[in-house]
Amino acid sequence: MNKGFLKVGLLSVFMSLAAWNYFSIPLQPDWTYEQRQLLTSLSLSALTELPVDPSNEVADSELAAELGHGLYFDTRLSGNGSVSCASCHKPELMFTDGLPLAVGTDIGTRHTPSLVGISYSPWFYWDGRKDSQWSQALAPLESSHEHNTDRLRVTRTVAEDDRYRELYESIFGSIPTIPLEPFSATPLGNESQQTAWIELSHSQQKNVNQVFSNVGKVIAAYQRKIIPGRSRFDEYIDALKLSSANENEIYSSSEIAGLALFIGEAQCVTCHNGPLLTNNEFHNTGVLAISGQLPSMGRYDGIRAAREDPFNCIGLYSGANRSECIELRFARDNNELVGAQKTPTLRNIADTAPYMHGGQITTLTQVIEHYNEAPVSMLNHNEAKPLELRPVQLRQLEDFLLTLSAPLATEEHWLLPPAN
Partner 1 sequence: MLRRSLRLVISSTVLSLLPVIAVVGSENPDFELEAGNEFYLHLHSQLQPLVINQIHSWHLELSNGTEAVQGASIDLIGGMPEHDHGLPTQPKVTAEIRPGVYLIEGIRFHMPGAWQMLFSIEVNGQTTNVTLDFHL
The residues with which 124 forms a beta bridge, in sequence order, are 130
Q: How far is the CB of 224 from partner 1 (least distance, A)?
A: 18
d(CA 1, CA 12): 17
| 136 touches partner 1 by CB under 8 A | no
| 52 touches partner 1 by CB under 8 A | no
Give the phi and the psi of residue 348 in degrees, each rounded to 5. Answer: 60, 30
| 369 touches partner 1 by CB under 8 A | no
CA-based max dimension of the chain: 97
| 324 touches partner 1 by CB under 8 A | no
Chain positions 112 to 131 lying near partner 1, rule: CB under 8 A, are 122
| 38 touches partner 1 by CB under 8 A | yes
Identity (one letter) of the amino acid at 27?
L
| 248 touches partner 1 by CB under 8 A | no
| 415 touches partner 1 by CB under 8 A | no
The residues with which 342 forms a beta bridge, in sequence order, are 282
Count of residues binding partner 1 (CB under 8 A)?
24
| 45 touches partner 1 by CB under 8 A | no
3-state secondary structure of 341: strand
Question: What is the residue-wise DSSP string for 60-121?
Answer: T-HHHHHHHHHHHT-TTSSTTS---HHHHSBGGGTTB-SSSS-BSSSB-SSPPPP-TTGGG-
Q: Which of 237, 269, 387, 394 is close enough to bind partner 1 by CB under 8 A? A: 269
Q: 131: alpha, beta or left, given left = phi > 0 and alpha = psi -120 to 50?
A: alpha
Judged by beta carbon, residue 301 or residue 333, the one nearer partner 1 is 333
Q: How far is the CB of 334 from partner 1 (least distance, A)?
A: 7
Burial class (CB in 10 A: 0-12, 13-18, 19+), 378: middle
List, in order, residues 6 or more apart from 233 with CB less than 8 Å away.
Answer: 42, 43, 259, 400, 403, 404
Judged by beta carbon, residue 44 or residue 218, the one nearer partner 1 is 44
| 210 touches partner 1 by CB under 8 A | no
Contact 201, 152 (CB under 8 A): no
Give the phi and the psi of residue 266 in degrees, each rounded to 5. Answer: -80, -15
| 60 touches partner 1 by CB under 8 A | no
Helix 62-72 with 202-223: angle, nearest 10 deg: 100
Q: Which of 327, 351, 369, 373 is close enough to bind partner 1 by CB under 8 A? A: 327
d(CA 319, CA 64): 15
Q: Which of 319, 383, 402, 415 is close enough to bind partner 1 by CB under 8 A? A: 383
Give the phi and the psi of residue 103 in degrees, each rounded to 5. Answer: -125, 110
Q: Which of 98, 176, 182, 274 is close enough to bind partner 1 by CB under 8 A? A: 274
Judged by beta carbon, residue 336 or residue 373, the one nearer partner 1 is 336
| 330 touches partner 1 by CB under 8 A | yes
| 266 touches partner 1 by CB under 8 A | no
Q: How far is the CB of 342 from partner 1 (least distance, A)?
A: 12
Q: How far is the CB of 253 from partner 1 (least distance, A)?
A: 25
Q: Of how many residues is the chain composed?
A: 420
d(CA 212, CA 140): 12
| 329 touches partner 1 by CB under 8 A | yes
Q: How far is the CB of 295 from partner 1 (least distance, A)?
A: 19
| 241 touches partner 1 by CB under 8 A | no
Q: Which of 11, 326, 362, 391 is close enough to bind partner 1 by CB under 8 A? A: 326
Q: How far is the CB of 330 from partner 1 (least distance, A)?
A: 3
Per CB under 8 A, the segment of 55-63, 69-77, 168-176, 270-278 that binds partner 1 is: 270-278
| 41 touches partner 1 by CB under 8 A | yes
Helix 33-42 with 253-263: angle, nearest 10 deg: 90
Q: 282: alpha, beta or left, given left = phi > 0 and alpha = psi -120 to 50?
A: beta
Per CB under 8 A, the segment of 55-63, 87-95, 228-236, 323-331 that binds partner 1 is: 323-331
3-state secondary structure of 340: strand
The residues with which 103 forms a beta bridge, in sequence order, are 107
| 271 touches partner 1 by CB under 8 A | yes
Q: Which of 202, 334, 376, 411 is close enough to bind partner 1 by CB under 8 A? A: 334
Q: Which of 16, 21, 28, 37 is close enough to bind partner 1 by CB under 8 A? A: 37
Contact footprint for partner 1 (CB under 8 A): 37-38, 41, 46, 122, 269-271, 273-274, 279-282, 326-327, 329-334, 336, 383
